[in-house]
A and B are shown apart, each in its own frame.
Chain A
Amino acid sequence: DIQMTQSPASLSASLGETVSIECLASEDIYSYLAWYQQKPGKSPQLLIYAANRLQDGVPSRFSGSGSGTQYSLKISGMQPEDEGDYFCLQGSKFPLTFGSGTKLEIK
């Protein structure tokens, strides 16, 4: 199975700050990478797919980048509503596997 190592596990950011979250795959996943945001008690919401494509309706302050085994999610200008948990997902091979998650809080 492909392992997704996500970092950091937790992060605290000030309003307006730029934040980055990383995912490292155990092998090349050819940009089959998605990012999700999850609020407490809610189901995950798709933010980014194909490593850098913004899902419809997602604010443009979210962006994704990367290739090969290294990928990142950037939030340019932290907003209060961005608090939550963030997960990456690889879709290069089955079983699909998720990163362990990053808890993002406002400082």
Chain B
Amino acid sequence: QVQLKESGPGLVQPSQTLSLTCTVSGLSLTSNSVSWIRQPPGKGLEWMGVIWSNGGTDYNSAIKSRLSISRDTSKSQVFLKMNSLQTEDTAMYFCASLYGGYTFDYWGQGVMVTVSS
């Protein structure tokens, strides 16, 4: 059974760095790619980036300068780090496994991150 679960702080101060972890079970990270996707309250979805099964990464150009995605295959975890957070970064953050190279079949439950002082 495939499961992804996001974890991290619910509240981050403006200008600080967000660190999130996606713990994956039932999938091998060396055979599967994982993306981060976010959704501001009441709004649509934004693809943030992907870590490919070979360890390479691609990022959304809109946030590329602030974003880093990495992984620890021994722990089956994928990490997101994003710096210089602003209030507009307040969102539900999801990790999801990539399917067919461009869509997502398994999603985590999401973690709500609020940027506020």
Q: Which residues of B contact A (CB under 8 A)?
A: 35, 44-47, 58-62, 94, 96, 99-105, 107-110
Contact = CB atoms under 8 A, between A and B. Distances in A.
Interface of A: 1, 32, 34, 42-46, 49-50, 55, 87, 89, 91-92, 94-101
Nearest to A50: B100
Contacts of A89: 45, 102-104
Contacts of B35: 96
A66 B94 CA distance: 28
Given A34-B103, A94-B58, 12 more contacts: A34-B104, A43-B94, A43-B107, A43-B110, A46-B99, A87-B45, A89-B102, A95-B60, A95-B62, A96-B35, A98-B44, A101-B45
A95 B96 CA distance: 15
- Ranked 6 nearest A-B pairs via Cβ: A91-B102, A43-B107, A34-B103, A96-B47, A95-B60, A98-B45
